[in-house]
Amino acid sequence: MAFMNGRSISGPDAAQRSALRSDLESCGYFPALVEDAVLLAVGDEEVLEFVVHHEPTFNRDEIRRHLTILVLTPTRLIVGHTDEQPSDGPTGPTSAATSTESINLAAINTVALTRVVIEPENYRPGAPAYEAWLSVSWGAMRRIDLEPAGCADPNCEADHGLTGTLTPDDLIVRMSAAADGAQRVEHLVSFTTSLQRATGRGAISTRVGR
């Protein structure tokens, strides 16, 4: 049994929170900090499913680590990011920045799942994927890609201004069996399908309630 804000938590929610803690501890990347940040955002809601993605990046002679955590509750998707911060000199203290974002399920526009399988000619239903991508868009930010505009005349030197595209700045989580392990890939697939179903139910409820 666990406790949250003075109340006891038992059953599936306690089991999920315990599994979340174990997953964060297995990553070894500021587990107490990450857990506290994401559960502060979850509050009293039930943790239905979660995904933890630990992603190191290499910058010359340094290794910078980044952790993304996604938590699905009955009403929201909680997105958390934690990054190491460069220290002030070789003797300076280490620091980390952690952020959480709460997205109402009804506000999510698209949830896309991409699976990569080996030897597709031998594929059988339920076979594990070698690689999986989760893409989520909720319209919080959009990216503008601009480039000089032109015309059909190859000899034209006039200034035609700029042209570009406006695209959503999606959240993308990518895992592979080689880098993250087959179990984490399947976990990402399971989480994505649950999120797809949850956002679909939220859209139906929203339309009916209008």
pLDDT of the residue at 207 = 40
Please state the pTM of the whole predicted model: 0.76
Q: What's the whole-number mean pLDDT along residues 178-202?
A: 92
* Cα–Cα distance for residue pair 55/67, rounded to 1 Å: 6
Q: pLDDT tens digits, residue range 23-41?
A: 999 988 899 999 999 999 9
Pairing of β 142-148 and β 162-168: antiparallel
Q: Where are the domains of the chain?
A: 1-106, 108-210
pLDDT of the residue at 46 = 94
**8-22, 101-115, 120-134, 146-160: least confident range:** 146-160
